[in-house]
Amino acid sequence: MGEQFKLIRTGIDFSNIDKRKQVILITSPESGTGKSTIASHLAITYAQRGERVLLIDADMRRPTLHRRFSKDLHAGLSNIILGYLSVEEGLQNVALADCEFFILTSGSIPPNPSELLSSEKMIELLEKLREEFDYIIIDTPPVTIVSDALALADMVDGMILVCRYHKTLRAKAIQAVEKLSLSQTKILGAIFNGTKNMENYYY
């Protein structure tokens, strides 16, 4: 699987003709596509190259990255936006055998995720984080279910849509692309996840 993510990383790098894709949003047409796994592996792949990487769990409705990396859910994104934590207090280190990066968990689950993500404080936070990290990977909820990904779309440099073999319906994929196309940000491509033959992954 590592080689497949290196290919995805290379594809993103080659899309950097006009502007470096520093902040990348990951979303999907529906739940269960493996987008959080994709976001995690993409962050790891960039960290393995020696980049300073931040992985953000912006899925404040069904956060999962804190469990994946055994980190504190409540010291995260929502708490920073609301002013309960500083950025430095929210950043949690992930040290693996061959790389190291930072994670910003979703924070305490709020009643109004879309409002938090579209706020001026979120814009200011991302601008600050751009100065500290080479790459920022943001995991967001499915774009056809809630508007959270669209709230962030104009703040990022590129978006990737994760679809799953034998799960994502063509109509849902088209709907997702139509919604993302409302943003000024470029859709970098799609990742087709869950095929039996790993060679069939494409970006």
Q: Which pLDDT belongs to residue 196?
A: 62
| Residue 168's pLDDT band (cuts 50, 70, 90) | confident
pLDDT tens digits for 96-115? 999 999 999 999 999 999 99
Q: Report yes or no on whether pTM surpasses 0.85.
A: yes
Mean of all residue pLDDT scores within the chain: 90
CB 53 within 8 A of CB 102: yes
| Fold annotation for 1-193 | Rossmann fold (3.40.50)
Average pLDDT over residues 69-97: 96
